[in-house]
Amino acid sequence: MAKPGKTYVCAACGALSLKWAGRCEACGEWNTLEEQQAPKPLPGGMKPSARVSGQKLDFVGLAGTSPPPPRVATTIAEFDRVLGGGLVPASVVLVGGDPGIGKSTLLLQASAALARAGERVVYISGEESVDQIRLRARRLGLSEAPVALAASTQIGDILASLGAEPMPALVVIDSIQTMWVEGIESSPGSVTQVRAAAFELIRAAKSGGFALMLVGHVTKEGAIAGPRVLEHMVDVVLHFEGDRGHQFRILRGIKNRFGATDEIGVFEMSERGLSEVTNPSALFLAERRGNISGNAVFAGLEGSRPVLVEIQALLSANPGGAPRRSVIGWDSGRLSMLLAVLETRCGLKLAMNDVYLNVAGGLRVNEPAADLAVAAALISAASDVPTDPEMVFFGEIGLSGELRQVAQADLRLKEAAKLGFARAATPKRVAGGAGKVAPPKGLGLCEVGHLTDLVALVATGQKPGQNRNRDAE
């Protein structure tokens, strides 16, 4: 009998290769091919297709409705918000995040809350012992929660234990990289083991009807470690973000088959664990000072939640050498574009300055609507004139310096009015566009059509449209 050959699988995209190479031909990543044993041949020279049998499928039309999936609330509102309203039975949730960010703490608190609500919860750890988890539970005040706790890394033992007990409502695996399947000649954490262990656990969750939560490690780039196919196998992918030196944590939905994506939940880390932040805008702006140049308040949107954050900019003269561009919480490429537009279209001299940009509170802003707030902070820092402390900014900036409308302007304005802001700088509304947005009572709109209007508004205090000197005219 011929010895089974070896194949190599890419840790980044899951592509198979018959021989090792330094670079994956499918995705182009370097040093990602890992060895795995090829499947054993079937007895008698049978082909795999010869053993496959099936039955006729019943096809249906696109018209029709289905009831929404049932939900099991964890009683942690911020967590349920990101999930879409709670856990769906037989669903699989993958939670990733940097080491020490609080993934295990969050899942332990969610498990305890669900167990206290009368549901059976199983928590299985492959990284910590039972005594270590008990110490954390005692510190968090969760010792009395009826959570079924175990420490194991063997998938066969875990599946046998789940089958012998009454079926739980939730099973937590911390983490999937520590699990291994007997009979596979690979070490725990390898592509083959992670994929096989996840497949066995997901199959058990689908057949048993319980919700499964997997903790995943991340690479130094911030992506979930292991084969990319792991993210396609699960129903929900959540990223836990934040700086370990900062108290705020952001739980962000990346994929959700049962709800909206890009939702966020905001938590605050303390000695007693993670506590919910029901009004993140007020917390992000709690330490803001309105009489300092280089600051501007951005009315952003995370999923369906409006969030107000402070954009901080600092310019430092650098007469010699290459100027530095340092960005925290925003896209560095978009900052370079805005600096070029400000120099070319508005005449600001920023090329010989080091530029430092920060989104206060540790929040990561991804939408282009932050362009106007970033530009206002840069203009304020360059002119050393503080922005209006009662004004918020949002809008997208084009390469010619024009301002463009952004989505959900009404939600942004309502959040600004709720927090006591009196004015909002927004893109100028175009006739025949999406329609006028009526501002809330007590909030005035300052429409900006071009970046030169913003320079006049921030640096000189003039109304938009005065002393405009565009290159295009």
CA angle in degrees (0–180, nearest 5) for 468-314-247: 125
Final residue belonging to a domain, choices 243, 278, 313: 278
Residue 381 included in any domain: yes
pLDDT of residue 104: 93
Asked whether residue 260 falls in the same domain as residue 305, the answer is: no
CATH number for the domain that contains residue 389: 3.30.230.10
Does 46 score more than 60 pLDDT? no
Asked whether residue 232 falls in the same domain as residue 194, the answer is: yes
Average pLDDT over the chain, rounded to an integer:
86
Residue 137 included in any domain: yes
pLDDT of residue 472: 38
Structural domain total, the chain: 3
Asked whether residue 253 falls in the same domain as residue 116, the answer is: yes
pLDDT of residue 437: 67
Residue 412 included in any domain: yes
Single pTM value for the model: 0.77
Asked whether residue 122 falls in the same domain as residue 28, the answer is: no
pLDDT band at 188 (very low <50, low <70, confident <90, very high): confident
Owning domain of residue 191: 77-278
**Mean per-residue pLDDT, 365-394:** 94
Residue 145 included in any domain: yes
Residues 306 and 415: beta-carbon distance below 8 Å: yes
Does 462 score more than 70 pLDDT? no
Q: Which residue has the tokens 């999937």?
A: 176
Asked whether residue 247 falls in the same domain as residue 376, the answer is: no
Asked whether residue 24 falls in the same domain as residue 154, the answer is: no
Residue 50 included in any domain: no
Tokens of 437: 């947005």
**Residue 98 CB partners (closer than 8 Å, separation 6+):** 218, 222, 240, 244
Asked whether residue 295 falls in the same domain as residue 415, the answer is: yes
Asked whether residue 187 falls in the same domain as residue 134, the answer is: yes
Identify the CA nearest to 169 among candidates 108, 93, 90.
90
Asked whether residue 327 falls in the same domain as residue 189, the answer is: no
Residues 449 and 473: beta-carbon distance below 8 Å: no
Does 39 score more than 80 pLDDT? no
Identify the CA nearest to 41 among candidates 87, 80, 89, 2.
2
pLDDT band at 315 (very low <50, low <70, confident <90, very high): very high
Residue 45 included in any domain: no
Residue 59 included in any domain: no
pLDDT tens digits along 211-238: 999 999 887 766 776 667 788 899 999 9
Cα separation, 87 vs 80, whole angstroms: 7
**Percent of the chain beyond pLDDT 90?**
56
Does 25 score more than 70 pLDDT? yes
Residue 60 included in any domain: no
> What are 317's strand-pairing partners?
353
Asked whether residue 113 falls in the same domain as residue 185, the answer is: yes
CATH number for the domain that contains residue 162: 3.40.50.300
Q: What 3-state DSSP class applies to 176?
A: helix
Asked whether residue 291 falls in the same domain as residue 245, the answer is: no
